[in-house]
A and B are shown apart, each in its own frame.
Chain A
Amino acid sequence: MDGIHDLGGMQGFPPVDPHDDVVGYHDDWEGLVHSAFTGTLGSGVHNMDEFRHAIERMDPAHYLTAAYYDRWLVGVSTLAVEKGVISPGELRERTAAMADGEATVTERRDPTLIDDLVDGVVDAYAAWEDDREPAFEAGDTVRVRHMHPDGHTRCPGYVRNAYGTVTEYRGTHTLPDAHAHGGDGSEPVYNVAFDLGALWDADGGEDHSGDSQSESAGDTIRVELWESYLEHVNE
């Protein structure tokens, strides 16, 4: 979907603050969210593509301001409720009780569960291995389809309608666009290279002083794209 998460090429954000030497979590609650994600993914409550799509459905203003693990928290909470694991009422009540200091975190030991969850996470990432001949090969010029699906996709908006060159066939992988919505199956995936200058054209790039072409000359953006995102270009 054309959501706020699809950030490639958007303008107007503040400068990056590159200083971050923290190894591990920045706050204790982030580790709780990460383990909750492991619990639901590893138990098969949702798959990776449903998880990504749940985050993509966030309120745009919240998405942009939320800490990274807050986005995960929204994604896991949304899916746990949608899949019927937790009711909206109990989530609301428990959250209020936690905020008011009227509840403590539930403790329950189950030392073997983590191994089951890790196995489940591996299963969740396992790709469908379809025996399918790729339609493109390295060196082919392709055009990314001008697509705007309502649902989940891993085709970034900024490469749509652009011309690129297939650099490598990556094998078949689960199609996220289907998998996020209950479908299955896989497609060939390709690494496709785009000329940065052509992607953003002469006045979309580095600066507007007239020498933007030279500054990005030779620079390349490389994206993994599923076969149905691409079409042949007749040369």
Chain B
Amino acid sequence: MSDHDHPPDDSTRASIDETVEALAREYDPEPRARALQSLLVEKELLSTDAVDAVVSTYEREIGPLNGAKVVARAWSDEAYRRRLLDDGMAAIEELDVEVNGDVMEIEVLENTPETHNVVVCTLCSCYPWAVLGLPPTWYKSPSYRSRVVREPRALLREEFGVDLDDDVAVDVWDSTSELRYMVLPQRPPGTDGLDEAELVEHVTRDSMIGVDRLA
């Protein structure tokens, strides 16, 4: 892409920022998104097929079910659980969940009776989409991003209804690099006789972010 390698100087940058922001003040996202898509298709940086492929991947193929399968396996198979905590990417790939290790590294954080893990990205909204799909709206909100690193217990109690005992320590993981985190929640009580497929039903997306506690 050598033809694009002309870094703009600060004044060019400022005027472009102003152009794009002015359009944003004037128009809703939808016409702006359709205009951008059309222009990129015309410049051959995008195609109708590519748009369809991206949308269908995130609408249908990737979602929290991938993470739930990983959790259910870890609850049922002690050796798998250890592999998952030791090398999350390799263990996730064992379950035919397609994660590209060149794009994303995933570390799995285990909740225990002593420790509760919760995940955030305070600087943007990084999220382990390969196992959980697209993030919920609240995960991307300034409210969540600002408060969870300052008063996680109060946030969990007041806004998510998770009231942690004083003897449970909270670990908040701020995703600042390309490393992504997924929480392995504790297995809920009363699930002793269930097989892996039944256990999947007990795993919530929010428990794998750390704002829901199953046990």
| Alpha-carbon separation in the docked complex, A24 to B211 (Å) | 20
| Alpha-carbon separation in the docked complex, A85 to B151 (Å) | 44
Please determine whether B58 and A25 come into contact, CB atoms closer than 8 angstroms: yes
Given A31-B54, A109-B49; A204-B155 close (CB under 8 Å): no
| Residue A219 interfacial (CB < 8 Å) | yes
Given A32-B51, A44-B4; A108-B34 close (CB under 8 Å): no
How many chain A residues touch B (Cβ–Cβ < 8 Å)? 114
| Alpha-carbon separation in the docked complex, A48 to B124 (Å) | 12
| Alpha-carbon separation in the docked complex, A20 to B29 (Å) | 21
Please determine whether B49 and A68 come into contact, CB atoms closer than 8 angstroms: no
Q: Name B1-56 residues within 8 Å CB distance of A.
A: 1, 3-4, 6-8, 12-13, 16-17, 19-21, 23-25, 27-51, 53-55
Please determine whether B211 and A35 come into contact, CB atoms closer than 8 angstroms: no
In the complex, what residue of chain B is closest to A28 when comparing beta carbons?
B30
Residues of B within 8 Å of A29, CB to CB, are 29-30, 33-34
Stretch at the interface among B77-85, B88-96, B138-146, B185-193: B138-146
Residues of B within 8 Å of A14, CB to CB, are 143
Contact partner of A36 (CB less than 8 A), chosen from B37, B44, B159, B175, is: B37
Closest CB-CB distance, A123 to chain B, in whole Å? 8
| Alpha-carbon separation in the docked complex, A232 to B76 (Å) | 44
Contact flags (1/0) for A75-99 with B, using CB distance below 8 Å?
Answer: 0111011111110101110111111
Residues of A within 8 Å of B50, CB to CB, are 35, 38-39, 110, 113-114, 117
Please determine whether B20 and A74 come into contact, CB atoms closer than 8 angstroms: yes
Please determine whether B35 and A97 come into contact, CB atoms closer than 8 angstroms: yes
Residues of A within 8 Å of B140, CB to CB, are 68
Please determine whether B34 and A105 come into contact, CB atoms closer than 8 angstroms: yes
Contact partner of B149 (CB less than 8 A), chosen from A9, A16, A69, A125, is: A9
| Alpha-carbon separation in the docked complex, A67 to B29 (Å) | 9
Please determine whether A110 and B47 come into contact, CB atoms closer than 8 angstroms: yes
Residues of B within 8 Å of A11, CB to CB, are 146-147, 150
Residues of A within 8 Å of B29, CB to CB, are 27, 29, 33, 67, 69-70, 73
What would be 20 A-B contacts, judged by CB atoms less than 8 Å apart? Answer: A7-B122, A9-B122, A11-B146, A17-B138, A20-B136, A25-B59, A36-B33, A38-B46, A40-B45, A45-B4, A77-B20, A80-B39, A91-B35, A98-B31, A111-B47, A113-B44, A113-B46, A155-B176, A156-B122, A196-B152
By a beta-carbon cutoff of 8 Å, the part of chain A in contact with chain B is: 5-11, 13-18, 20-36, 38-40, 43-45, 48, 52, 55, 57-59, 62, 64, 66-70, 73-74, 76-78, 80-86, 88, 90-92, 94-99, 103, 105-111, 113-114, 117, 121-122, 125-127, 154-156, 158, 170, 173, 181-182, 189, 196, 200, 204-207, 214-216, 218-226
Top 5 nearest A-B pairs by Cβ distance? A8-B122, A39-B46, A110-B47, A98-B31, A31-B55
By a beta-carbon cutoff of 8 Å, the part of chain B in contact with chain A is: 1, 3-4, 6-8, 12-13, 16-17, 19-21, 23-25, 27-51, 53-55, 58-60, 63-64, 100, 102-104, 122-125, 133-138, 140-147, 149-155, 158-160, 166, 169-179, 206, 211
